[in-house]
Amino acid sequence: MDGVDFRIIHELQADGRLSNQDLADRVQLSPSPCLRRVRRLEEAGLIRGYTAMVDQSAFGLPITVFVRIRLERHTGDAVRVFEEEVGRIEHIQDCYLMAGSSDYLLRIVIESLEAYEVLVRTRIHAIPGIASIESSFAFGSVKQTRTYPRPGKLLRSTGAS
């Protein structure tokens, strides 16, 4: 990837609905080479798809819960079952495998505290092998982005290696 590829990705992260002409103008390419680069980035798996950013509250899911999960055992079967079950729960938006005192960190969006209680009691507690569940509720969002920074930019700007 070169600087033009990074600019293409940056522009598409900011606005995935850009026409090829507008994208080409923003990255200072003619349309044909720009389209070839976008297709190459898609084929390489760097661009995995395009989506609409939806306002979570307006959509009816105003509550964000971060849930730390610790498993009783870390056998291959226990991990596989947990991860498969988590994949089936649509309110779980993200699931991260963690280092530290928790094994997993989940980000859940939900419509109410009552609905969260039902989700925990009926879906999450039903997953075998969970030792502990710890929930933290977000009061608000200070920053939320899906635009990645350019790798290495911070190190280059500070002179660190």
pLDDT of residue 47: 97
Q: Nearest CA to 113 among 60, 70, 43, 65?
A: 65
Q: 47 and 68: one domain?
A: no
Q: 25 and 73: one domain?
A: no
Q: 67 and 128: one domain?
A: yes
Q: 88 and 30: one domain?
A: no
CATH number, domain with residue 11: 1.10.10.10
- Rounded CA separation 8/20 (Å): 10
Q: What is the value of pTM for the model shown?
A: 0.85
pLDDT of residue 156: 72
Range of the domain at 37: 3-52
pLDDT of residue 105: 98
What total number of domains does the chain contain?
2
Q: 74 and 41: one domain?
A: no
Q: 35 and 85: one domain?
A: no
Does 72 map to a domain? yes
Q: Are 44 and 1 in contact (CB under 8 A)?
A: no
Does 46 map to a domain? yes
Q: 105 and 84: one domain?
A: yes
Q: 26 and 69: one domain?
A: no
Q: 44 and 82: one domain?
A: no
Q: 69 and 48: one domain?
A: no
Final residue of a structural domain among 12, 29, 52? 52
Sign of the C-alpha dihedral computed for residues 144, 147, 153 and 157 taken in this order: negative
Segments of the chain scoring below 70 in pLDDT: 158, 160-161
